[in-house]
Amino acid sequence: MQITKKFIVAGAGVVALIGGGGAAYAATTSAAPAAPKVTAEQAIEIAHKTVPGAWVSELDFDSQGTRADVWELELTKGSERHEVKVDAASGKVVKNEIDRNDRDDDHDGDDDD
């Protein structure tokens, strides 16, 4: 009976050490990424200065690994759709691409309804 208790206590100690070590390892390897210096609200303001009078239809944060993180915004102004990327560290516009929606994809002239 005495030997069984020693094995149980020793086994529980080993399990506690392994579990605690695993938790410590996980805490050090999965540190939360740093928050961007430019907030979402600031990115929206920057995009509105780039495309005045537009409304924001989409906002995403893109963590790009080794490259600079960016805020990706889609803005609509009339028949134009703008894709604007704002550097999350500096606030600089790194991309402003325009997609005009004035194309008529229905070339047969029929009313498809």
**Same domain, yes or no, for 49 and 21?**
no
In a domain, 106, yes or no: no
Q: Which residues pair with 76 in a beta bridge?
A: 55, 81
pLDDT above 70 (res 57): yes
**Same domain, yes or no, for 11 and 44?**
no
**Same domain, yes or no, for 53 and 5?**
no
Collect all residues with Cβ–Cβ distance below 8 Å to 46 and sequence separation of at least 6: 38, 86, 91, 93
- The tens digit of pLDDT for each residue in 14-55 reads 555 555 555 555 555 555 667 789 999 999 999 999 999 999
Provide the pLDDT confidence category of residue 112 given band limits of 50, 70 and 90: low
**Same domain, yes or no, for 95 and 55?**
yes
Q: Which domain holds residue 58?
A: 40-100
Torsion angle, alpha carbons of 88, 90, 93, 95, to 10? -60
In a domain, 108, yes or no: no
pLDDT above 70 (res 11): no
pLDDT above 60 (res 13): no
**Same domain, yes or no, for 96 and 44?**
yes
User: What average pLDDT score do residues 96-102 get?
Assistant: 82
